Amino acid sequence: MDKYRLVEEKVIGAPGFDRSSADAKPANTSTGGTMEDICVVRITPQARPRSCITTAMNILESGSNHVELRAMGKAINKAVTIAEILKRKMPLHQITTLSSCEIVNVYEPLEEGLDTVVNQHYVSCLTITLSRDLTCIDVNDKGYQPPLEIQPGQPVDYNTGKIVAAS
């Protein structure tokens, strides 16, 4: 593909998964109805897990009750790991949604005489919604997971009541 340049890239079938947003950068999106603003953290293969965790923690500590982690393709395992780390830091309800989207890339030739190339492929998309409370969470959703419970023998910070990470 040395003789072509990318002209257009479309993500079809996955709302909110456009590639124009930056890595791990919160973007407030209003979903309408009675639901309050949900803050979104986009997780990419290049994103550092620590910065994504810090961003999500800051969103939750700034007064928002919800944070949404979104990932596509190879970043899905990173999103699951980040969600599990966040759930161990604070009690969070979780809803996981898995979907598929089509990515269409259009390449133009750099030399004359070559045709335009259109590349289509499908990618898995994952959305993990983490919430402090049940106001906008459907517990009957098939992707619902309740907060983790503190188990006996697990180290806990008694000043805050939170589980301390094992060293």
Give the pLDDT confidence score for residue 120 in this predicted structure: 93
Give the pLDDT confidence score for residue 149 in this predicted structure: 77
Give the pLDDT confidence score for residue 25 in this predicted structure: 45
**Beta-carbon neighbour count of residue 95 at 10 Å?**
19
Give the pLDDT confidence score for residue 2 in this predicted structure: 83
Separation between Cα atoms, residue 163 and residue 156, nearest integer Å: 4
DSSP three-state, residue 72: strand
pLDDT, one tens digit for every residue, the chain (167 residues): 788 999 988 888 777 776 554 444 444 443 443 334 458 899 999 999 999 999 999 988 888 888 999 999 999 999 999 999 998 888 899 999 999 999 999 999 998 888 999 999 999 999 999 998 887 788 888 888 888 876 666 666 545 656 666 55
Give the pLDDT confidence score for residue 153 in this predicted structure: 60
Give the pLDDT confidence score for residue 157 in this predicted structure: 59
